[in-house]
Amino acid sequence: MKKIVILGAGTAGTMMLNKLHNILDKEEWELTIVDQYKTHYYQPGFLFIPFGIYKKQDVIKPKYDFFPSGVNVIYNKIDKIEGENNKVILDGGQVLNYDFLIIATGTQTRPEETPGLKEKLWYKDIFDFYTIEGALALHDKFKDWEGGNLVMSIAEVPFKCPVAPLEFVFLAEAYFTKKGIRDKVNITFVTPMSGAFTKPVATKMLSELMTEKNINIVSDFYIERVDNENKKLISYDEREVPFDILTIVPVNMGNDLIERSGLGDDMNFVRTDKFTLQSKDYDNIFVLGDAANIPTSKAGSVAHFAGEILTENLLSAMEGRPLNAKFDGHANCYIETGYGKGALIDFNYDTEPLPGTFPLPGIGPFGLLKNTKINHYGKVIFRWIYWHMLLKGKELPIEANMTMAGKKKQNI
C-alpha cells in the first residue's frame, strides 16, 4: 500500500481527505489524517457570536462527523516533518511514513507577539474573535456595556479572513444602533494597511460605506505595544489610539511544527509554489489552505478552490507526469455589512475585486461590491453549504479559477 498523510483536519485538510477518498483506489492508497483536536469549528461563525447572532452550538461539531470510513484518523500532536526521509514524527515518538504529504496545519493567532496584549486587560477589555473563547468573552462584555471607544485593530498582515475586521465594525455599528446606544459608541478601525482594504476599487467602496456608517479609519498604524494602564494602542511612529474595548486580530503565524521541520518562512508559513501548490523544498509535499505562504487571502474559499488544483496536481505527481494545473489565487468572500445586508468580492493574484454580478454574468443573483440583501442570504446559506458540501469535498457550481465574466473593469 502506498500512503498519503494529511496534517491538519480543519477546513482544508478535511475537504482534501474527502476528495481523495472519493477518487483514489482504496486497494492502492492508504489515507491518514492527523490532528490534535477533536472539535471542528465553523470559523466564519465566530464573527457572529459577540453580537448574539450565533451561539456556541451553532459553530461546533465533532471532527469525526466529516471523516469518511476506511481512513486512518490519529488524534495527536505533531512533532515534525522529516522531508528528506518521507516521515512525520508525532509527539510521543510515533512515526508515519508517507509517499505523499499534504500540509494543512493552518494559521494561529499569537497575541503574545505584541507587547502588552495578553496582559491584565486580556478578555476584560481586550478581545479577539478568532477563537471561540475570545468571541464568547466579547459577547459577555457587550451585553451590559454602556458605550465608549470601541476599537477594532489589526496587528499584522497576513491574517485569516481579511474581511472579518470590516464585517466586525459593520455588525457592531448595527448592533449598538439596535440597542439604542450608537451615539455613545465611537467606532474606530485601525489598520497597518493604507486603507480599509488592500486593493483600490474595493477600498473605495468599503471606505465610503464606513464614512456613511460614521466609522473612523486610522490607517498605516503598525502596533508596537498596548498600554494597559492608559488603555491605548501605541504605534511604532508613536501615534496613540485610546480604547475602552479593544478588539484585535493578533499576529497570525503558521504552526511551530513548520519551523521545527525547516519548511517555513519567517512567519512559519510553508514555502509553497503559488501555482502548483507544491512545497518548494520537497516534490512529494503539497500545501493547502492557510498554512501556505502563497500571496492570496487566508480563507476557506481559497482552500476550496486551491483544493481542486491540488487534487489534479497530486494525481499527476503520483503518475510521474508534470504538474499542469495552475492555481490563480482565486478568493471569494462575503462581507456582512449589518441590517441584513452584505457585499461580495471575487478576485485572484492578478485581478482585484471588481463590481459586477456573480456567479452568472448579468444575472447574479449576487452583486459584486454591492451592498444587498441577497448577498447577506448568501452568507447565511453558506453555513449549510459548509457543513454539508464543502467539508465533504463535494463539487460546488463555481469554477476553481476566477472568471472575468460578469465583472466590470474600473478606473480609479
Binding site for other proteins (CB under 8 A): 156-158, 162, 192-194, 197-199, 220, 222, 224, 236-237, 265-267, 293, 295-297, 331, 347, 349
What minimum distance in Å lies between the beta carbon of 179 and other proteins? 32
Nearer to other proteins, 222 or 387 (CB): 222
- Name 341's Cβ contacts closer than 8 Å, sequence gap at least 6: 371, 372, 373, 375, 376
SS (H, E, C) 117-176: CCCCCECCCEECCCCHHHHHHHHHHHHCCCCEEEEEEECCCCCECCCHHHHHHHHHHHHH
The closest of 337, 321, 11, 28 to 173, measured between CA atoms, is: 337
Q: How far is residue 132's CA from residue 124's CA, in Å, rounded to a whole number?
A: 15
Whose Cβ is closer to other proteins: residue 45's or residue 162's?
A: 162
| In the complex, minimum distance from the CB of residue 171 to other proteins, in angstroms, rounded to a whole number | 20
Q: Which is nearer to other proteins, 166 or 209 (CB)?
A: 166
Instruction: Give the number of C-alpha atoms closer than 13 A to the C-alpha of residue 394, restricted to the C-beta side.
Output: 11
Q: Which is nearer to other proteins, 146 or 238 (CB)?
A: 238
Closer residue to other proteins, CB minimum distance, 66 or 159: 159
Q: In angstroms, rounded to a whole number, what is the distance separating the alpha carbons of residues 5 and 99?
A: 8
- Smallest gap from residue 156 Cβ to other proteins (A): 7
- At residue 180, φ and ψ (nearest 5 deg) are 80, 15
Nearer to other proteins, 14 or 293 (CB): 293
Q: What angle do CA 265, 349, 21 make, to 5 degrees?
A: 75
CB of 295 to other proteins, least distance (A): 4
CA dist., res. 300 & res. 291, Å (int): 12
Closest distance between other proteins and the C-beta of residue 281, in Å? 14
- Minimum gap (Å) between residue 331 Cβ and other proteins: 7
